[in-house]
């Protein structure tokens, strides 16, 4: 059989040569692009070949088969006549041709190695991009929300500052064991992970991070020559590929109640399902199992603590994130408390968004064990901030983090109060009446407003609070209990204005930012963009409701509604539900004859976020299928990939 044509120097087009990938332009007809350029929709040029061959460039090549050596080599058309006239070779000529064939094979092998190395580098760059998004979008923001300053479970204020990924890896690497063997035998043992179990969880968490972060990757490739449609299609394919791989690995965490499993399931459960995926949607199942795992682990941990017996901290087999000397039993207990508080926050969010009962604890026990402590902390914070509240001196970053942390805890308490109203209306898990639950929810609303109403600059916190108010109003109105709200119209109007102001702030920031109009969009900063979509959608419906009841003028409705639609346009870049919400509000506009202002089409804009600006020169092939396949091989074959990545971010953030 004839061998593959040997590789000639300067035989790749300019784009493939720049990306260091294989090119088949030498076997294409003159004027036809190579396969890579044709797939990417860009121009295929040969400037480098022209410079390397000043006599002229011939796009057509001919393969010549030598019957003596069996080697098929490549020659330009101008050389073919000369080659065809070569006389019968002598023995020395045969040896020379065999040597040339061997040399060609070595060059081909070297080329393959170079292509393989370039592919590995691209896969590593993709991994770093995805993890950078995860740290900036999830780790830092959620870390502030559950920080040690506002965690109601924490017994001391010396809990170490850690990334959430480091937190779950450390908690998974250790387990508490009773010293007394007889007492230990009476308590259900903690599940001990085998090395293979830990490896499957590591791969599942890595894949979940990749799938979760993919929607925030640059929407438009900035490499010259590539079309917007081609760049968009590449990203869609990459998002689907990463989601599919994560979906296949997520079943292992569903059967392993560990902290690593909890984070992997939470991330995948909050990852949107690609539009054309045929696999069953297990997002809600992942969120539910994640909370059930945390409830199981926390119940067992509290059972160990209730015995008042001595316990020791031991490592699970193959625990390799830290050594036993680096984590004390007190630090481990504090990290468990922070992880449980994270679960409470996730539980209240899920209950509000899905109208489902809480999982981690019953409503009454949660109110007694958690929210009383939150109320006390918020009241103490409110009293302590009087000195700087009216000060002209800018507050420090540490104070700002404390404000966000306490505000988020108070917001979670408001959402928990709404969950009690939902329980009274739908689930009936407790004996609380609708009237009692509504009164409690309004009391928590007032507490939040009194403590944080002056903090209008906390964009996402205000949106989350407004979402809670609108959810309660819509729920009571739909079930015939709107009379419990003595000021329903006023609440709707103030909430709609709050969302309109938030959208106006976002639009103003987008218009005044440098570079891409969406590069710094604060609407894309939330780790849970579906909450922002829900808030804008409910506010838009409230505007229509107020207009039908002649509370708002047509000019005011059109101005406010345009802001809601513009916000949803921006969110369409990272949220599939934003498309449905946008079209639904447009239909509502048409029904009542409202004509909002023209809305910019952000689908043709770049969604490069601030933390991804360093990747602005990334070439389009980083989104291609072979790169995601190489990334998947890297997840499987590199057991230290996640540990090294976390360490890199810990160094960058100055964390121990």
> Which of the four pLDDT bands, split at 50, 70 and 90, describes residue 621?
low
| Mean pLDDT of the region 584-600 | 83
Domains and CATH numbers, the chain: 1-86 (no CATH), 163-336 (no CATH), 456-610 (1.25.40)
Cα 70 from chain centroid (whole Å): 54
pLDDT of residue 6: 44
Contact 169, 352 (CB under 8 A): no
Q: How confident is the model at residue 606 (pLDDT cuts 50, 70, 90)?
A: very low
pLDDT band at 58 (very low <50, low <70, confident <90, very high): very low
DSSP letter at 572 equals: T
* Lowest mean pLDDT segment, chosen from 305-319, 384-398, 429-443: 305-319
Q: Could you read off the pLDDT of 303-331 as tens digits, one per residue? A: 777 666 566 666 765 444 444 346 777 88
The pLDDT value given to residue 424 = 92
Q: What is the pLDDT of residue 510?
A: 62
Do residues 533 and 577 lie in contact, with contact meaning Cβ atoms separated by under 8 Å? yes
Q: What is the CB neighbour count within 10 angstroms for residue 400?
A: 15
pLDDT above 70 (res 342): yes
460-518 pLDDT tens trace: 788 998 999 999 999 999 999 999 998 889 999 999 998 998 888 887 766 655 545 45
pLDDT score at 325: 44
Using the predicted structure, report yes or no on whether residue 31 has a pLDDT greater than 60. Answer: yes
Better-predicted residue by pLDDT, 367 or 249? 249
Flag the least confident range among 100-109, 200-209, 448-457, 527-536. Answer: 100-109
Confidence bin at 269 (pLDDT 50/70/90): very high
Q: Which of 97-111, 150-164, 324-338 has the least mean pLDDT?
A: 97-111
493-509 burial, b at 16+ Cβ within 10 Å, e below that, comes to: bebbbbbbbbbebbbee
- Indicate the angle between helix axes 91-134 and 625-637, nearest 10 degrees: 80
pLDDT in the model for residue 141: 84
Whether the per-residue pLDDT at 393 is higher than 90: the answer is: no
Query: What's the pLDDT at 506?
Result: 80
Q: Is this model's pTM higher than 0.85 or not?
A: no
Reduced to 3 states, what is the DSSP secondary structure of residue 517?
coil
Largest CA distance in the chain: 106
Place 449 in a pLDDT band, splitting at 50, 70 and 90: confident
Supply the pLDDT for residue 378. Answer: 86
Give the pLDDT of residue 319. 44
From residue 17, give the alpha-carbon distance in Å to each of 21, 44, 45, 75, 524.
Answer: 7, 11, 11, 20, 36
For residue 159, pLDDT beyond 50? no
Please report the sign of the dihedral spanned by the C-alpha atoms of residue 74, residue 78, residue 79, residue 84.
Answer: positive
**Predicted pLDDT of residue 226:** 60
Q: Is 458 exposed, middle or buried (0-12, 13-18, 19+ CB in 10 A)?
A: middle
pLDDT, mean of residues 636-649:
93
Residue range 161-219, pLDDT digits in tens: 678 999 999 888 877 666 566 655 555 555 677 888 889 999 999 999 999 999 988 75
Give 343's contacts (C-beta < 8 A, 6+ positions apart): 262, 291, 294, 295, 298, 360
Instruction: Kindly report, residue by residue over 104-130, the tens digit of the pLDDT.
Output: 555 555 566 777 888 888 899 999 999
Which tens digits make up the pLDDT trace of 132-143? Answer: 999 988 998 888
Which residues, 6 or more positions from 356, have their beta carbon under 8 angstroms from its beta carbon? Answer: 350
pLDDT value of position 178: 61
- Sequence-distant (6+) residues with CB within 8 A of 264 are 201, 204, 205, 208, 250, 253
Structure tokens at 243: 């989601």
Name which of 510, 508, 501, 563 is nearest 537 in CA terms: 563
pLDDT beyond 90 at 635:
yes
Q: What is the mean pLDDT of the chain?
A: 77
Provide CB contacts within 8 A for 115, sequence distance 6+. Answer: 20, 21, 22
DSSP 33-59: PPHHHHHHT-----HHHHHH-TT----
pLDDT at 446 over 70: yes
Dihedral sign, CA of 113, 114, 117, 118? negative
pLDDT (0 to 100) of residue 81: 36
Give me the percent of the chain exceeding a pLDDT of 70: 71
Backbone angles phi, psi at 194, to 5 degrees: -80, 165
CA 500 to chain centre: 26
For residue 99, pLDDT beyond 70: no
């Amino acid at each position: 059989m004839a061998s593959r044509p040997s590789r000639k120097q300067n035989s790749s087009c300019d784009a493939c040569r720049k990306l260091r990938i294989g090119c088949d332009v030498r076997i294409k007809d003159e004027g036809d692009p190579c396969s890579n350029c044709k797939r990417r929709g860009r121009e295929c040029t040969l400037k480098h070949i022209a410079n390397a061959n000043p006599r002229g460039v011939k796009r057509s090549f001919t393969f010549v088969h030598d019957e003596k050596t069996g080697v098929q080599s490549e020659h330009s058309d101008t050389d073919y006549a000369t080659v065809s006239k070569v006389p019968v070779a002598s023995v020395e000529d045969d040896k020379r041709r065999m040597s040339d064939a061997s040399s060609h094979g070595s060059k081909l092998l070297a080329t393959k190695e170079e292509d393989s190395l370039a592919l590995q580098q691209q896969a590593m760059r993709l991994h770093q991009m995805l993890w950078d998004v995860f740290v900036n979008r999830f780790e830092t923001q959620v870390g502030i929300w559950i920080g040690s300053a506002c965690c109601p479970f924490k017994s001391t204020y010396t809990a170490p500052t850690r990334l959430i990924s480091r937190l779950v890896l450390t908690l998974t690497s250790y387990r508490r064991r009773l010293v007394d063997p007889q007492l230990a035998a009476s308590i259900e043992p903690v599940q001990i992970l085998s090395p293979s179990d830990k490896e499957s969880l590591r791969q599942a968490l890595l894949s979940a991070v990749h799938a979760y972060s993919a929607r925030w990757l640059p929407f438009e490739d900035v490499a010259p020559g590539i079309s917007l449609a081609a760049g968009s299609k590449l990203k869609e394919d990459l998002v689907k590929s990463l989601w599919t791989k994560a979906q296949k690995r997520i079943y292992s965490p569903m059967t392993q109640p560990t902290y690593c499993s909890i984070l992997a399931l939470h991330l995948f459960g909050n990852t949107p399902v690609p539009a054309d995926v045929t696999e069953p949607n297990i997002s809600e199942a992942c969120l539910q199992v994640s909370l059930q795992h945390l409830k199981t682990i926390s119940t067992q941990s509290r059972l160990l603590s209730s015995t008042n017996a001595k316990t020791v901290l031991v490592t699970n087999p193959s625990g390799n994130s830290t050594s036993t000397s680096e984590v004390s039993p007190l630090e481990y207990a504090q990290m468990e408390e922070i992880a449980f508080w994270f679960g409470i926050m996730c539980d209240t969010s899920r209950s509000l968004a899905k109208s489902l009962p809480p999982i981690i604890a019953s409503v009454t026990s949660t109110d007694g064990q958690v929210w009383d402590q939150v109320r006390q902390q918020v009241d103490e914070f409110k009293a302590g901030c009087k000195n700087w509240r009216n000060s002209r001196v800018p507050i420090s970053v540490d104070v700002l983090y404390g404000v966000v942390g306490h505000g988020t805890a108070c917001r979670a308490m408001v959402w928990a109060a709404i969950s009690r109203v939902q329980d009274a209306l739908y689930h009936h898990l407790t004996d609380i009446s609708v009237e009692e639950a509504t009164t409690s929810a309004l009391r928590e609303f007032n507490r939040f407003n009194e403590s944080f109403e002056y903090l209008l600059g906390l964009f996402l916190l205000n949106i989350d609070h407004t979402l809670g108010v609108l959810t309660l109003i819509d729920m009571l109105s739909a079930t015939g209990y709107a009379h419990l709200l003595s000021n329903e119209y006023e609440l709707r109007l103030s909430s709609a204005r709050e969302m309109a102001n938030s959208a106006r702030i976002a639009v103003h920031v987008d218009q005044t930012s440098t570079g891409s109009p969406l590069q710094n969009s604060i609407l894309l900063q939330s780790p849970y963009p579906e909450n922002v979509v829900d808030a804008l959608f409910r506010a838009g419906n409230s505007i229509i409701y107020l207009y039908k009841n002649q509370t708002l003028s047509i000019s005011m409705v059109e101005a406010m509604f345009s802001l809601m639609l513009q916000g949803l346009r921006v969110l369409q870049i990272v949220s599939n539900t934003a498309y449905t919400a946008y079209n639904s509000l447009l239909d509502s506009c048409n029904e009542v004859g409202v004509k909002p202002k023209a809305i910019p089409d952000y689908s043709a804009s770049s969604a490069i976020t601030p933390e991804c600006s360093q990747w602005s020169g990334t070439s389009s092939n980083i989104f291609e299928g072979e790169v995601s396949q190489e990334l998947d091989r890297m997840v499987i074959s590199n057991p230290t990939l996640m540990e090294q990545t976390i360490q890199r971010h810990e160094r960058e953030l100055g964390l121990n």
